[in-house]
Structure 1
Amino acid sequence: MDVTNVIFDIQFAIKERKNMKRMKKYFQVALLVLGICSSANLLAQHADQTTKNDTLFFEDFSQNSLDRTKWNVIGTDFHVNNEQQAYYDSTATIYTVKGEEAQGAKSGALVLQAHYSPNFTTINGKNFDFISGRINTRDKVMFTYGTAAARMKLPEGAGFWPAFWALGGGDWPATGEIDIMEYVGETDWIGVALHGPGYSGETPLVNKYFFPEGESVTDWHVYSVDWTPEGFEFKVDGRLIYRVTKPMVENYGKWAFDNPKFLIVNLALGGAYPYKTNLVEEPYNGLPQSTVDLIKAGKAKVLVDWVLITQ
């Protein structure tokens, strides 16, 4: 690893914040669970107490750094989809913030941030000009059926490719993929999708959600999916945006959604899906110069207020 990588760790280590008094965890969980079940307005903000669902997992990123007992961090040996970044386990790319830096997240927020880092060298000897962050709950928090939700705030810029999604623990696509939220840089819409055997890649089980006038991905929104043995309901701020039934899936291939899944949150740059949307080839595949400039200016940030799984 070259000296640039070490410098990034040093520079961003100062972003760690001293301890602040936190709200009691059980109170936050109770508030947020009702947020999944209540109206769109409550989902976009905060919620009131309910005992309708059992909480399997809750993370509000109120600690001074990522809780490694809940999350795995992907390193530089992982690369897919012709993405233009290397994933890097660093306080440059994955850190928590509080106060004004949390931009309205009361207990703090997780930040995934991409950086321009020319000729960054991975463990496999590959070179990239960007680094970013990707985390998951594999083998730490797995779930079968229930509601998975996250409150997120996304950056503006063509070719940014953040996602909130779930994978099965086996081979892809045989064990299934649930895309709860994907965004490729057009601020007025996000996508949802299912992938499995016979319906992966250019899947027919996909839908776009266009925000109402005055809203965009740069605002805080709750992205969620209700998963049952019979199908899925995808929602944004409690609004049902797409329903998929088991027979719909089986029209294309084997149902791959009776097995445990783990959650993923990541910020990719460019690559296959953004390119199919914007057809940008230079200076990077799916990533225009205007977005490179945003990355250099420190504006390539995904904020996550909380993540919740109920069953």
Structure 2
Amino acid sequence: MKNSPETLFFDDFTAAHLNRDVWNVEVTGKIYNNEQQAYIDSPETVYISHSEADCNGALVLQAHYRPGFSTPQGAPFDFVSGRVHTRGKFTFRYGRVSARLKTPAVSGVWPAFWVLGNGGEWPACGEIDIMEAVGEPDWVSAAAHGPNYSGEAGLVNKKYFQPPDSIAEWHIYTAECTPEKLLFFVDDELIYRITRPMVTFFGPWVFNSEKFLILNLALGGTYPYKTNGIHQPYYGLPSPAVQEIQNNHVRFLVDWVKITTL
């Protein structure tokens, strides 16, 4: 008889504040993917809400318009946002990784739920993208990146929602990480399977190391740009999105995150 799965990690964000024993809040240093936001550690951009519908508490990553903002390194940005991760506080090797998420259906807004290998330079450390969206209401993507299959050459697939369903509703996004394959699910529907032979056709399998969790809300950048083709007013971020951010409407909600053994 198969044993019941063991819970390795769980946070339902019902406490008054983010649990900093397991979560770090990112502060922007180097910028990647031509993203248009700086990440800051602020209750404006990373906070717990107990007033969201259909959940008892939620982590909120919220974007704000802050023209003229400067990072500690002196880099200028017009937007700030939130990113949290468990690096140095919690890692796992294999298991079923899930989160219940609600993402903004705003073109050019790029929320993500993903994991990175704990050690080495990217992409040799291995990246598993459990959920990414760029604001188009009818799809999310899942992907894996490693040596010779990274960036635009990454292994990727999309899940398309049927109206009236959309990314703006609550959904459970999951990846099962095993020594030989990665399985991706949306609301328990299998949407993508990546096997070791699929990966080793391009490069080494790099997904057997310890991994840490990341949740972030990026704005603009390469992935949105290659979808919407927007140059102005910001790279990958059109004017309607800027207005939504200015109106404080762009939020990425996380009801819970859970990791169990398989």
Given the two structures, how large is their TM-score scaled by the length of structure 2?
0.97
What's the counterpart of residue 37 of structure 2?
A: 85
Gaps of 5+ in 1: 1-50
- What is the distance in 2 between the residues matched to 1:75 and 1:276? 26
Look up the SS of the partner of 1:102 in the other structure.
Answer: coil
- Please state if 1:109 is matched with 2:48: no
- What is the distance in 2 between the residues matched to 1:232 and 1:241? 11
Task: Name the Cα RMSD after superposition.
Answer: 1.2
- Please state if 1:157 is matched with 2:106: yes
- Please state if 1:70 is matched with 2:22: yes
Once structures 1 and 2 are overlaid, which stretch shifts more, 278-287 or 77-86?
77-86
Amino acid at match of 2:160: F
Given candidates 201, 205, 219, the residue that maps to 1:255 is 205
Whether the 8 Å CA contact 1:275–1:285 is kept in 2: the answer is: yes
- What is the distance in 1 between the residues matched to 2:174 and 2:34? 27
Tell me which structure has the larger Cα radius of gyration: 1
1:200-279 alignment to 2 at 5 Å?
Answer: 200-279=150-229
What's the counterpart of residue 10 of structure 2?
A: 58
> Which structure has greater strand proportion?
2
What's the counterpart of residue 257 of structure 2?
A: 307
Whether the 8 Å CA contact 1:116–1:130 is kept in 2: the answer is: yes
How far residue 146 of structure 1 moved from its aligned partner, in angstroms, is: 0.5
How far residue 308 of structure 1 moved from its aligned partner, in angstroms, is: 0.3
Look up the SS of the partner of 2:240 in the other structure.
Answer: helix
How far residue 175 of structure 1 moved from its aligned partner, in angstroms, is: 1.4
- What is the distance in 2 between the residues matched to 1:118 and 1:134? 19
What's the counterpart of residue 141 of structure 1?
A: 90
Look up the SS of the partner of 1:224 in the other structure.
Answer: strand
What's the counterpart of residue 71 of structure 2?
A: 122
How far residue 76 of structure 1 moved from its aligned partner, in angstroms, is: 2.8
Whether the 8 Å CA contact 1:193–1:203 is kept in 2: the answer is: no
What's the counterpart of residue 177 of structure 1?
A: 127
How far residue 204 of structure 1 moved from its aligned partner, in angstroms, is: 4.5
Cα-to-partner distance string for 1:161-204 (whole Å, 9 max, x where unaligned): 00000001221100100000000110100011000011001124
Look up the SS of the partner of 1:125 in the other structure.
Answer: coil
Higher relative contact order (CA 8 A, sep 6+): 2
Identity %: 54
Given the two structures, how large is their TM-score scaled by the length of structure 1?
0.82
Gaps of 5+ in 2: none
- What is the distance in 2 between the residues matched to 1:78 and 1:222? 31
Cα-to-partner distance string for 1:13-33 (whole Å, 9 max, x where unaligned): xxxxxxxxxxxxxxxxxxxxx
How far residue 102 of structure 1 moved from its aligned partner, in angstroms, is: 1.5
Q: Which runs of 4+ in 1 moved over 4 A?
A: none
Whether the 8 Å CA contact 2:146–2:154 is kept in 1: the answer is: no
